[in-house]
């Protein structure tokens, strides 16, 4: 069993989430479009991961004792960069280079480009299977670090996710914490229509031998409790937190947009978006 | 009208004692009088692991059929049975390599090349990880038909950056290759001969070197450039051609990528020789085309022929039958070369 203890709730998780969203909007503005709605949606999850649950050293992203965070959904790189900037792993002034030639922040996350990016995601279905290898490797080393893997509802259409789910259950990888972002939006439309099976997602993992929880992925208190339970649950099972999130959360006029998988934001809307985000900032 | 189920030879007209069964050569490619060693890969890996604690072995339900069971028995705590999940196999190996281990991941060549390609490419090769993918049943080394015959694995893998590809000939070379690929930093794909593997190269004072082609014998009339089990056949062919007063040399190219271009160009540039590339692989995308392109780029243009499998899905049956049918048995190869020389 892992020796990590439950930490007190950081009082400012909502503020971290706000700043992650703000970073994402500032990066989105550089391109004018992109996976901004996903970044806004998953910001609370990342805030809880990076500022409540995970162990790492900002000044030494390859520190052996760190918890590994694998971003399977490479296009969510904008969200992870926003969190890595907030966590002090990437300097804030690199925001403006997002997706530019020779930037360390390419639009799809790659390990060789960016400090804190453990894997090259983007070919969906790889992350959870890689996480199985990391988890096996950490156990061989008798490390008490966790492997977190962020993947998505649409990605669960990939067969390799279920090879990994089955393998992790079989190997009882209690150092593996999967996080599924369920925002019900994928390239061709709602994931509930394109892929299906979203209602049963937690049950599907349970059936594969996982300790599964399903939470409102934009409820910081619920997320905090779920991450705590995932870390300390006294069961020899891999853990998964299925997080229902709202696309573009925090910017109401973008939340209302249909088909926001690859969001186009007009030049005059960025300031409005930042202002809307600021208006909703927790007091 | 011809039935789609009709076979070229009417089996039932043949006495049962003359029916060659698919299980012929299933445990060993060796001929009746050939010397062999059992499971050279498994034994070599188990021995190497004694001094390399970072080595782990993973398989996808084919431990016994890739000789990894020898390693598993010697080092049970370092053996990972991933089940029938080749995509997971490759990613789990990548993840363990990320954590500092040196995984040897085994399956059949068809499953690695066809099913798990994207996972080897991005999780292993793009990250340039120290994973050794070792695959049994390369080319035409099973009579089970296209589901098991990896006739195009090299064509599939040659385009993958960072990946080293080797195709050893015999038990000795497999034993030598295991520590050599472990010493190489980066991903390797090794075509594996399993079971009782013929022993041939000890008679040639052979020493495997990664990236090096080796001239096993020289000859003035023909140069056979070969890899894998076809080098065994090439040596036998050279012996048979000698009886016909044809002097054939054999250049063994067990590292398919990176190709030892200098040695190949130098050997092929020797005037007056027919160059024959012999491989247990489709004529498309394998050693033959790699050598042809190398020679063309260098402006070396000898008479050139390929002994290789046709661009077809191949038949099921007994390997001796199929090797004859598709031209890669010693007899068929000898006849081809004699025909080319006479033309």
Residues of B annotated as part of the active site: 86
A29 touches chain B (CB under 8 A): no
Q: Which candidate from B80, B100, B123 shows the least CB-CB separation from A126?
A: B123
* Residue A259 in domain: yes
pLDDT at residue B32 in the model = 81
Complete DSSP assignment for A171-220: TT-TTEEEEEEE-S-BTTB-HHHHT---TTHHHHHHHTT-EEEEEETT-H
- A126 → closest Cβ in B91, B96, B103: B91
Are A136 and B87 in contact (CB < 8 Å)? Answer: no
pLDDT tens digits, one per residue of A120-165: 999 999 999 999 999 999 999 999 999 999 999 999 999 999 999 9
Rg (CA), chain A: 17
Tell me, what CATH number does A48's domain have?
3.40.50.970
Burial of B271 (0-12, 13-18, 19+ CB in 10 A): exposed
Whether A137 maps to a domain, the answer reads yes
Name the residue among A206, A216, A233 with its Cα closest to residue A45: A216
**CB-CB: which of B92, B101, B122 is closest to A132?**
B92
> Domains of chain B by range and CATH?
37-198 (3.40.50.970), 211-342 (3.40.50.920)
- Which residue's structure tokens are 């060789």? A112
| Partners of residue A180 on adjacent β-strands | A151, A242
pLDDT, mean of residues A12-33: 95
Strand partners, B191: B135
Residue ranges of chain B whose CB lies within 8 Å of a chain A CB: 56, 80, 82-83, 85, 87-88, 90-101, 103, 118-119, 122-123, 126-127
Instruction: Please state, in angstroms and rounded to a whole number, the distance separating the CA atoms of residues B320 and B230.
Output: 14
> CB B95 to CB A111 under 8 A?
no
Is A190 domain-assigned?
yes
Residues of B in contact with A122 (CB under 8 A): 122
Structure tokens at B303: 């008479």
Residue among A177, A180, A173 at smallest CA distance from A137? A173
Report the pLDDT averaged over residues A249-263: 90
CA atoms of A274 and A262, how far apart (whole Å): 18
Residue of B nearest to A170 (CA): B82
What's the gap in Å between the CA of A157 and the closest CA on chain B? 14
Q: What is the number of structural domains in chain A?
A: 1
Q: Which of A111, A120, A167 sits opposite B83 (nearest CB)?
A: A167
Q: Is residue A1 part of a domain?
A: no
Interface residue A132 vs chain B (CB under 8 A) = yes
At residue B140, the pLDDT reads: 97
Chain B residues in contact with A160 by the CB 8 A cut-off are 87-88, 91, 119
Interface A-B, measured as beta-carbon pairs within 8 A, has a size of: 88
Measured from the Cβ of residue A270, the count of other Cβ atoms closer than 10 Å reads 17
Give the pLDDT score at A2.
42
Chain A residues close to B91, C-beta within 8 Å: 126, 129-130, 132-133, 160, 164
More confident of the two residues A6 and B66: B66
| B99 contacts A167? CB cut-off 8 A | no
CB contact under 8 A, B92 and A125: no
Backbone angles phi, psi at B15, to 5 degrees: -60, 145
DSSP string computed for B179-217: HHHHHS-S-EEEEE--SEEE--GGGGT----TT--EEEE
In a domain, A103, yes or no: yes
Q: Any residues with CB less than 8 A from the CB of A190 and at least 6 apart, and which?
A: A184
pLDDT in tens, A180-233: 999 999 999 999 999 999 999 999 999 999 999 999 999 999 999 999 999 999
**Contact flag A160-B91 (C-beta cutoff 8 Å):** yes
Q: Which residue of B60, B77, B83, B92 is the best one to mutate when testing the A interface, meaning the one whose CB has the most A CBs within 10 A?
A: B92
* Mean pLDDT across A10-20: 90
User: Token digits for B18?
Assistant: 């003359």
Query: Is the Cβ of A111 closer than 8 Å to some Cβ of chain B?
Result: yes
pTM: 0.95
CA gap B107, B120 in Å, rounded: 13
Establish if A181 touches chain B: CB-CB under 8 angstroms: no
Q: How far off is chain A from B235, nearest CA to CA, in Å? A: 43
pLDDT lower than 50: segments of chain B: none
Asked if A111's CB is within 8 angstroms of B127's CB, the reply is yes
Residue B221, token pair as written in the block = 């009339």
- What's the CA angle centered on A240, arms A234 and A241, to 5 degrees? 110
- Residue given tokens 């390693």 in the structure block: B71
- Of the partner residues B92, B101, B118, the one whose CB lies closest to the CB of residue A123: B118
Residue A3 counted as domain residue: no
With tokens 């789990």, the residue in question is B92
Residues contacting A13, CB < 8 A, separation 6+: A44, A47, A48, A51, A52, A220, A224
Which phi-psi region, left, alpha or beta, contains residue A266 (left: φ > 0; alpha: ψ -120 to 50)? beta
Rounded Cα distance, B190 and A87, in Å:
43
pLDDT number for residue B21:
81
* pLDDT single digits (tens) B277-306: 999 999 999 999 999 999 999 999 999 999
**Domain limits for position A269:** 13-279
Chain B nearest CA to A133, separation (Å): 4
Tell me: ipTM over 0.85.
Answer: yes
* Residue A232 placed within a domain: yes
């Amino acid at each position: 069993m892992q020796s990590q203890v439950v930490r007190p709730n950081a009082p400012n998780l909502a503020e971290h989430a706000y700043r992650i969203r703000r970073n994402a909007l500032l990066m989105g503005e550089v391109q004018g479009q992109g996976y901004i709605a996903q970044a806004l949606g998953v910001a609370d999850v990342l805030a809880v991961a990076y500022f409540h649950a995970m162990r790492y050293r900002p000044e030494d992203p390859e520190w052996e004792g760190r918890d590994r965070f694998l971003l399977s959904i490479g296009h969510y790189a904008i969200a992870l960069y926003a969190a890595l900037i907030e966590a002090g792993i990437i300097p804030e002034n690199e925001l403006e280079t997002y997706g530019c030639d020779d930037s360390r922040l390419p639009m799809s996350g790659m390990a060789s480009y960016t400090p804190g990016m453990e894997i090259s995601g983007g070919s969906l279905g790889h992350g959870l299977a890689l996480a199985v290898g990391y988890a096996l490797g950490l156990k061989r080393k008798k490390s008490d670090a966790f492997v977190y893997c962020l993947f998505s509802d649409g990605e669960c259409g990939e067969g390799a996710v279920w090879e990994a789910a089955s393998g992790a259950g079989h190997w009882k990888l209690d150092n593996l914490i999967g996080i599924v972002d369920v925002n019900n939006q994928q390239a061709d439309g709602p994931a509930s229509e394109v892929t299906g099976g979203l209602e049963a997602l937690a049950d599907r993992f349970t059936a594969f031998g996982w300790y599964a929880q399903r939470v409102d992925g934009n409820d910081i208190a619920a997320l905090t409790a779920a991450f705590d339970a995932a870390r300390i649950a006294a069961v020899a099972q891999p853990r998964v937190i299925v997080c229902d999130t709202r696309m573009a959360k925090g910017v109401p006029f973008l939340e209302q947009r249909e088909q926001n998988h690859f969001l186009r934001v007009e030049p005059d809307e960025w300031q409005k978006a930042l202002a809307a985000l600021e208006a909703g900032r927790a007091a | 009208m011809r039935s789609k189920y009709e076979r070229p030879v009417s089996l039932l007209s043949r006495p049962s004692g003359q029916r060659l069964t698919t299980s012929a050569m299933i445990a060993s490619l060796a001929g009746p009088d050939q010397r062999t060693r059992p499971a050279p890969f498994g034994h070599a890996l188990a021995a190497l692991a004694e001094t390399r604690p970072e080595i782990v072995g993973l398989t996808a339900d084919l431990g016994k059929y890739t000789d990894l069971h020898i390693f598993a028995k010697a080092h049970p705590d370092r053996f990972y049975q991933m089940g029938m999940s080749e995509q997971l196999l490759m990613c789990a190996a990548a993840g363990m390599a990320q954590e500092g281990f040196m995984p040897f991941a085994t399956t059949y060549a068809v499953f690695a090349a066809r099913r798990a390609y994207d996972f080897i490419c991005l999780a292993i090769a793009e990250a340039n990880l120290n994973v050794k993918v070792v695959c049994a049943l390369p080319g035409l080394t099973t009579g089970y038909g296209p589901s098991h015959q990896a006739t195009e694995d090299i064509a599939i893998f040659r385009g993958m950056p960072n990946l080293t590809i080797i195709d050893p000939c015999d038990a000795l070379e497999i034993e030598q290759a295991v520590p050599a690929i472990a010493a190489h930093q980066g991903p390797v794909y090794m075509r594996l001969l399993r079971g009782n593997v013929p022993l041939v190269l000890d008679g040639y004072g052979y020493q495997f070197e990664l990236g090096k082609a080796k001239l096993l014998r020289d000859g003035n009339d023909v140069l056979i450039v070969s890899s894998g089990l076809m080098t065994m056949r090439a040596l036998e062919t050279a012996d048979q051609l000698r009886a016909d007063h044809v002097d054939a040399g054999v250049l063994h190219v067990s590292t398919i990528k990176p190709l030892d271009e200098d040695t190949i160009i130098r050997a092929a540039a020797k005037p007056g020789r027919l160059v024959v590339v012999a491989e247990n692989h489709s004529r498309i995308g394998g050693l033959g085309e790699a050598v042809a392109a190398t020679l063309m780029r260098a402006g070396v243009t000898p008479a050139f022929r390929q002994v290789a499998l046709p661009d077809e899905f191949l038949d099921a049956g007994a390997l001796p039958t199929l090797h004859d049918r598709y031209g890669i048995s010693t007899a068929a190869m000898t006849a081809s070369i004699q025909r080319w020389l006479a033309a």
